[in-house]
Amino acid sequence: MFFSRKAEPATQKVAVILAKYFSLDVEDTLPWCAFSQPENEDAGVTVTLPFCIATQLDRLKQEVLNQLKGKLDDDQLTFKQNVASGETEVAPVTNIKNIIAVASGKGGVGKSTTSINLAFALMQEGAKVGILDADIYGPSIPIMLGNPDAHPESEDNKHMQPLMSHGIVANSIGYLVPQEDAAVWRGPMASRALKQLLDETLWPVLDYLIVDMPPGTGDIQLTMAQQVPLTASVVVTTPQDLALADAQKGISMFEKVNVPVLGLIENMSYYQCRACGTKDYVFSKDGGEALAERHGLPLLGQLPLDIHIREHGDAGTPLLITSPESALSESYREAARALSMQLALTVTPRKGAVKHIKGNPIGIVGKE
C-alpha cells in the first residue's frame, strides 16, 4: 500500500493506534515506530517495543492491521522488542540491563515463589532473564529450580558461571556454602556475600536480573538495596493486615534509597474450591489493592493460594515450564507484562547504556 507524502505518515498512524491500545499518549508511542527502510517508506513500519509482551504480539499486530483498514499489509508491519536499561543510583553491573528487587516486609508471603515464577514469565514474554537469590539466610531458589546440589563452575577461581536452568541463569549462596554456615553470618558479611555474588558471576547479557531479597526491612535489606544497582523493585504481600503493614515498610525502604517501586503483587489472594468453585478469602480481601491505591502504585498481579504453586516450588519443577498453558501460568505472565511495561514507561532510561554491555545474550553462552 502507498501512503502519500502529504498525508499523515504511516508511522504516525501506527503510533496513534498503539497509544489507544496501551492508554498512552502518542508522544509515548511515536518513538517506537520507524519506517522499516528509511529510504523506502512503502517497505512498511517496524515497531520496537521497549518492554516484553511476546505472547501478545500476534494479537496486537492484528489489532493494528485491522485499525489501519488495509493501509498496510501483514508483511509491511513488523514488531520487535528491545528492553532499555533504566537509570540507577549505583554504577551498573556488566551485561545487566535492569536489576529488579523482589521484596516483602513479612517472611513467608511467597516472595521467592513469586520471584521464580516472574522470572520464567518474563522469559516467556521474550526477555533474557537471570535470578539472584539474595536470601542469604534462607536460600530457596536452588530447590525451586530443582538443582540444589549444583555448583557454579569457575575457570580462574575468581569468577563463576551462573547455573543455567530451563532457559534462565541463576546464582545463589545456596550453591556455594552449606546453609548452616550462611545462617550464622552477621549483617555485613551477608551484604558482602551478596555483592560478591552479583559482581563475581559472569552474567550473560540480561534484560532483567530478578533479585530475591531476604524478607524484612531492617539494616541488612537497606544496605543491600543501597549496594546493588537496583533499577526498580516489586513488593509482594498477602492481603492480610499484618503483611500489609510490613509491605508498607518495604515501600518506604525503597523510597528512602530512591529505588522506584513498580507495583505490588498480592499473593495468596484467595483460595478457590476445586469442587464447587467458591472463592474463600483466607487472608482477607482486597488488602493489596487498597495499599496500592494508597501509594498510587499499580497492583501488578493477584495470585491465588493454590496447591500447584506450592507443589511445583517444592518439587523444583517450575510451574511455567511444566504447565505453561495453565491459568496460573497466565496470571504470572500477566503480572510479568505489567511489570515490564511499568518499568519501561516509568523509569528514566540510562544514558550511554550500551557501555556496560560486553557479552553475549543468554542462550549463546552455554547450554542447559
Ligand X SMILES: Nc1ncnc2c1ncn2[C@@H]1O[C@H](COP(=O)(O)OP(=O)(O)OP(=O)(O)O)[C@@H](O)[C@H]1O
Q: In the complex with ligand X, which residue's Cβ is closer, 279 or 310?
A: 310
111 assigned to a ligand binding site: yes
Q: In the complex with ligand X, which residue's Cβ is closer, 65 or 102?
A: 102
Is residue 146 a contact residue for ligand X (CB under 6 A)? no
Is residue 240 a contact residue for ligand X (CB under 6 A)? no
359 assigned to a ligand binding site: no
Give the DSSP letter string of 49-102: ESS--GGGHHHHHHHHHHHHTTSS-GGGEEEEE-PPPBP-SSPPPTTBS-EEEE
Cα 60 to Cα 30, 65, 83, 170, 297, distances in angstroms? 16, 9, 18, 32, 26
Region near ligand X per CB under 6 A, out of 43-51, 54-62, 92-100, 307-315? 307-315
Q: Which of 85, 140, 201, 302 binds ligand X (CB under 6 A)?
A: 140
Q: What pairing do the DSSP bridges indicate for beta strands 45-49 and 77-81?
A: parallel
Helix (H, G, I), strand (E, B) or coil at 108: coil
Q: Which three cell numbers stand for residue 242?
A: 499484618
Q: How big is the site for ligand X, counted in residues (CB under 6 A)?
A: 21
Question: According to CB under 6 A, which residues from 45 to 104 bind ligand X?
Answer: 104
Is residue 112 a contact residue for ligand X (CB under 6 A)? yes
Q: Give the full edge-to-edge strand order of the sheet including 208-212.
A: 163-165, 168-172, 129-133, 208-212, 99-103, 232-237, 261-266, 299-302
Q: What is the rounded distance in angstroms from the CA atom of residue 366 to the CA atom of residue 161?
A: 10
The answer to whether 146 touches 112, Cβ cutoff 8 Å, is no
Region near ligand X per CB under 6 A, out of 81-89, 122-130, 196-204, 309-317? 309-317
- φ, ψ of residue 47 in degrees (nearest 5): -105, 120
User: Among 222, 312, 302, 204, which Cα is nearest to 259's?
Assistant: 222
Question: According to CB under 6 A, which residues from 3 to 42 bind ligand X?
Answer: none
Is residue 318 a contact residue for ligand X (CB under 6 A)? no
Q: Which of 272, 310, 345, 349 binds ligand X (CB under 6 A)?
A: 310
Region near ligand X per CB under 6 A, out of 58-66, 93-101, 107-115, 336-344? 107-115
Q: Which three cell numbers stand for residue 192?
A: 558482602
277 assigned to a ligand binding site: no
Question: According to CB under 6 A, which residues from 185 to 224 bind ligand X?
Answer: 215
Is residue 128 a contact residue for ligand X (CB under 6 A)? no
138 assigned to a ligand binding site: no
Q: Which three cell numbers stand for residue 180?
A: 548452616
Q: Which three cell numbers stand for residue 243?
A: 503483611
Is residue 350 a contact residue for ligand X (CB under 6 A)? no
Q: What is the rounded distance in angstroms from the CA atom of residue 318 to the CA atom of residue 113?
A: 10
Q: In the complex with ligand X, which residue's Cβ is closer, 44 or 313?
A: 313
Q: Which of 72, 109, 198, 230 binds ligand X (CB under 6 A)?
A: 109
347 assigned to a ligand binding site: no
Could you list the residues known to form a binding site, using ranges.
Answer: 105-112
Could you list the residues known to form a binding site for ATP, using ranges.
Answer: 105-112
Query: Which residues of the chain form contacts with ligand X (CB under 6 A)?
Result: 104, 107-113, 135, 138, 140, 215, 267-268, 303, 305-306, 309-310, 313-314
